[in-house]
Structure 1
Amino acid sequence: MLIRSKTKTVLLASLLISSSFFSQAHNVSEGYQKPTDPLVVKNLENWQDLKFGLFMHWGTYSQWGIVESWSLCPEDESWTQRKPEHGKSYYEYVKNYENLQTTFNPVQFNPQKWADAVKKAGMKYVVFTTKHHDGFAMFDTQQSDYKITSSKTPFSKNPKADVTKEIFNTFRKEGFKIGAYFSKPDWHSDDYWWSYFPPKDRNVNYDPKKYPERWNSFKNFTFNQLNELTSNYGKVDILWLDGGWVRPFRTIDPNVEWQRTIKVEQDIDMDKIGAMARKNQPGIIIVDRTVPGKWENYVTPEQAVPEKALSIPWESCITMGDSFSYVPNDNYKSSQKIIETLVKIISRGGNYLMNIAPGPNGDYDPVVYERLKEISVWMNSNQSAVFATRTVAPYHDGNFYYTQSKDGKTVNIFHLDEKTNYEVPSTLHFTIPDNFKPKSLKVLGLKNKINWKQSGNIIKVDLPVERNQLKYSTVIQISE
């Protein structure tokens, strides 16, 4: 998927994240800078209301059912392993991988089916991989013929061949905010992995300072593709830039293992890119992952949830299955696990960007739709405790997790027990926030009047027999 790192980085002391979080694949940047552009500030505030988003990794690699892009990278890591049947040598493998373009024909592609299912499940924004590290464009770029709309690609004859346009238009029509994932490194480009040298690792394989004309050519190529995405595809709300090793050398954090592999300057000129993107899309949120500064408008922990509330905008990107890309017979998380993860994330002030990977036929696995349908039932009852909420102390206390309305007049208390199947207790005792004086209490999803009693800052709730109809959690809403 993304950065693919396993080690620790230094954080702002205020971020208070556990060592288990450090060990995950992505590191939160030190030195967050709050945006100053009023439109960006407003859009970021609106984005924090959305809470639940859809991530989609999709490309030619889905035909082999392998991890996205990374098998092209000549690093000896678990996610870069190549299957012998796909090529006996590295160069044969690359040739066969790139030849997947000539067989990619996802004829079941129907973005309306996706939008309908995820909208019912409560998702409110989408981030789609317009181009991953392998360089294959899932949009109609004019900078390269390595794209889904090329005559080399069978799907180019389909009226929906520009899948980025189809996805963005469909989801936008359904009220979603639109995010364009884009990889800054491009392993197909001869101006990034120059064919004169063999690639050594994920980084550029020559010294840009020694060959400035070649690096400038790559910078122009990247700028032009991002200009296309932010000019030709309607309203884009988020530009989600991956590949954090393409960065100014001065920004490298030596405490992070994967950043220590960066040996040369890879400044892509984010000021120029950012100014262009904001000119094309005023107020667009830009996420230059792991590169601290004014172009990382929110941070993006990957496959992990911080154990404490963060004071800055953030989003956990986590897979519904085990993989970011399509893998046959993937192990999909249960609906209960997904909802528990959502509750933990929003109680700590974050958004949950859940990845679902389409297969080579252009559709999700059937089990995905089952999960989304189950989540939608829970969301129908509990959405008022999820969306447009903010953090409130004590955030998390035992099995209880808290959110509050933005006006502070309503507090939501989620009870989880994280057993295989959630069991609703007959009585719940929980702490309420300091100085909060509840006048009414209800259990979302139950119509019966609820008996409750307050003693100091503790509330006791007696749940009726009908409680057994609740699934995954009990959500209590108290109001002043």
Structure 2
Amino acid sequence: MLIKQKTKTFFLSSFLISSAFFSQAHNVSAGYQKPDDPLVVQNLEEWQDLKFGLFMHWGTYSQWGIVESWSLCPEDESWTQRKPEHGKSYNEYVKNYENLQTTFNPTGFNPQRWAEAAKKAGMKYVVFTTKHHDGFAMFDTKESDYKITSPKTPFSKNPKADVTKEIFNAFRKDGFKIGAYFSKPDWHSENYWWPYFPPKDRNVNYDPKKYPERWESFKTFTFNQLNEITSNYGKIDILWLDGGWVRPFRTIDPSVEWQRTIKVEQDIDMDKIGNMARKNQPGIIVVDRTVPGKWENYVTPEQAVPEHPLSIPWESCITMGDSFSYVPNDNYKSSQKIIETLIKIISRGGNYLMNIAPGPNGDYDPVVYERLNEISGWMEKNRSAVFATRSAEPYHNGNFYYTRSKDGKTLNVFHIDDQKEYRAPAILSFSLPENFKPKTLKILGIDSKVKWKQTGTTVEVKLPEDRTKLKYATSIQMTN
């Protein structure tokens, strides 16, 4: 989906990584610049209150049930492998992949249903892939005919053909902040992968300094498409730019493996793009991910959660299944695992952007709706401990995770059990932050009176018999 490092398999099997590795892989603190635009600062503060968002990777590739875009990339890695039945040679494969445009007809597309299910599950913002690395535009661009609204695409005849507009309008109507994912590299563009040369890897396949006019044409193309997205699609709160290898050469971090593959200058002129986006959308958050500086307003670890709180705004993008794109019979995470991950993320001050991939018919797998409905039941009872909170010392102690209200008057302590299906124990004992003296204590989701006592900085809670109603986690809420 995004960075595609060799550590991908590890990320899929383990959510926790060391802060040192996290910093190296995602350029977390090096060069982070806090925005000084008051509208951006306000938008970031509001975004940090949201905690739970929906990511959606969707394109013509869903018809083959393969990883998004990456099979076009001539890199010999596990996630780029091509299936022989889709083409015996590279060129045949690319032709067949691009011909998926002529059969893409997701007639089951109903974004209102997605928005309703996501809202009930507590999600409060959405980030949609308007264009991935393959260059197929899921919006009505005037810059290319490789798009969902082209007459070549059967779905173009549908009144909802401009799916980006339909998705943004449906989710905006339900109160979501709106995020537009956009890939800076475009492997379909002749000004990025020039047909004169074969593509060698994910990077531009010519030297932009040697052919400046061609690179300038690509910069104009990119600028114009982003101008369309930020001008023609209503209020947009987040511009989420992927493809971090398209960057000024001076920003490369040689300690990061995938960045060592960048051999030429690929400066896309982010100042021009960012200023245009802010002119069109005052206060928009710009996420030029993995490129430290003024246009990476928050950082975005992929399939991973840092072990410790970060002092800057951040978001983990993690799949509900194993894949960012639609795969038949994907292995979807349990509701318990999703809620445990949410608790870990918010206890460290981050947001959880959970990816759900629509299928070729234009809808989610039925399992997705089951998960969202199960999560909604937990959210109804526990939302006050989740939203508009910040990290709180001691952050994480054993199976206990902490958040606080922004004014510091309320402390929330979550108890989870990573090893098995959650069963609330009869007694919970945990430590308090120094100088926090609770006056009241309650268990969210339980109406019975709770017995508790404080000894020094330790609180012991005796849970009532109806603790059996607690699913996935116990949330203890105290006021100072």
Q: What's the TM-score once normalised by structure 1's chain length?
A: 0.97
Could you report, residue by residue, the CA deviation over 1:240-286 in whole angstroms, capped at 9, with x for unpaired residues? 00000000000000001111100000000000000000000000000
> Which residue is 1:13 aligned to?
none
Judge conservation of contact 2:19–2:306 (CA < 8 Å) in 1. Answer: no
Judge conservation of contact 1:7–1:256 (CA < 8 Å) in 2. Answer: no
When residues 354 and 123 of structure 1 are mapped into structure 2, their CA distance, relative to the original with a 3 A threshold, is: same
Distance 2:133 2:17 in 1: 29
Judge conservation of contact 1:274–1:286 (CA < 8 Å) in 2. Answer: yes
After alignment, is 343-352 or 21-30 more displaced?
21-30
Could you report, residue by residue, the CA deviation over 1:375-396 in whole angstroms, capped at 9, with x for unpaired residues? 0000000000000000110000
Distance 2:226 2:441 in 1: 50
Is the aligned partner of 1:235 residue 2:235? yes
> Which residue is 2:193 aligned to?
193
When residues 203 and 83 of structure 1 are mapped into structure 2, their CA distance, relative to the original with a 3 A threshold, is: same
Distance 2:20 2:461 in 1: 34
Q: How does 1:279-318 map to 2 (within 5 A)?
A: 279-318=279-318
> Which residue is 2:341 aligned to?
341
> Which residue is 2:64 aligned to?
64
Is the aligned partner of 1:214 residue 2:214? yes
Could you report, residue by residue, the CA deviation over 1:308-328 in whole angstroms, capped at 9, with x for unpaired residues? 011100000000000000000
Match of 1:55, SS? strand
Match of 1:2, SS? coil
When residues 424 and 24 of structure 1 are mapped into structure 2, their CA distance, relative to the original with a 3 A threshold, is: farther
Superposition deviation, residue 28 in structure 1: 3.6
Could you report, residue by residue, the CA deviation over 1:422-466 in whole angstroms, capped at 9, with x for unpaired residues? 011000001111101110000000001100001111000000110
Q: How does 1:132-281 map to 2 (within 5 A)?
A: 132-281=132-281
When residues 66 and 473 of structure 1 are mapped into structure 2, their CA distance, relative to the original with a 3 A threshold, is: same
Superposition deviation, residue 7 in structure 1: 6.2
Q: What's the TM-score once normalised by structure 2's chain length?
A: 0.97
Distance 2:22 2:280 in 1: 36
Distance 1:120 1:97 in 2: 36
Distance 1:258 1:266 in 2: 15
Superposition deviation, residue 124 in structure 1: 0.0
Distance 1:44 1:69 in 2: 30
When residues 359 and 310 of structure 1 are mapped into structure 2, their CA distance, relative to the original with a 3 A threshold, is: same
Judge conservation of contact 2:24–2:255 (CA < 8 Å) in 1. Answer: no
Q: Show structure 1 runs of 5+ residues with no match.
A: 9-15
Match of 1:322, SS? coil
Distance 2:98 2:341 in 1: 36
> Which residue is 1:319 aligned to?
319
Judge conservation of contact 1:52–1:125 (CA < 8 Å) in 2. Answer: yes
> Which residue is 1:12 aligned to?
none
Judge conservation of contact 1:21–1:306 (CA < 8 Å) in 2. Answer: no
> Which residue is 2:126 aligned to?
126
Superposition deviation, residue 31 in structure 1: 1.8
> Which residue is 1:45 aligned to?
45
Superposition deviation, residue 5 in structure 1: 1.7
Judge conservation of contact 1:17–1:308 (CA < 8 Å) in 2. Answer: no
Distance 1:184 1:23 in 2: 23
When residues 161 and 294 of structure 1 are mapped into structure 2, their CA distance, relative to the original with a 3 A threshold, is: same
Match of 1:299, SS? coil
Judge conservation of contact 2:25–2:256 (CA < 8 Å) in 1. Answer: no
Question: In angstroms, what is the RMSD of aligned CA positions?
Answer: 1.5
Superposition deviation, residue 6 in structure 1: 3.4
Could you report, residue by residue, the CA deviation over 1:200-242 in whole angstroms, capped at 9, with x for unpaired residues? 0000000000000000000000000000000000000000000
When residues 51 and 19 of structure 1 are mapped into structure 2, their CA distance, relative to the original with a 3 A threshold, is: closer
Superposition deviation, residue 29 in structure 1: 5.9
Match of 2:182, SS? strand
Distance 1:20 1:260 in 2: 19
Match of 1:392, SS? strand
> Which residue is 1:363 aligned to?
363
> Which residue is 2:439 aligned to?
439
Could you report, residue by residue, the CA deviation over 1:34-78 in whole angstroms, capped at 9, with x for unpaired residues? 111111011000000000000000000000000000000000000
Judge conservation of contact 1:134–1:187 (CA < 8 Å) in 2. Answer: yes
Superposition deviation, residue 418 in structure 1: 1.3
Superposition deviation, residue 21 in structure 1: 5.2
Judge conservation of contact 1:111–1:167 (CA < 8 Å) in 2. Answer: yes
Distance 1:102 1:393 in 2: 55
Q: Show structure 2 runs of 5+ residues with no match.
A: 9-15
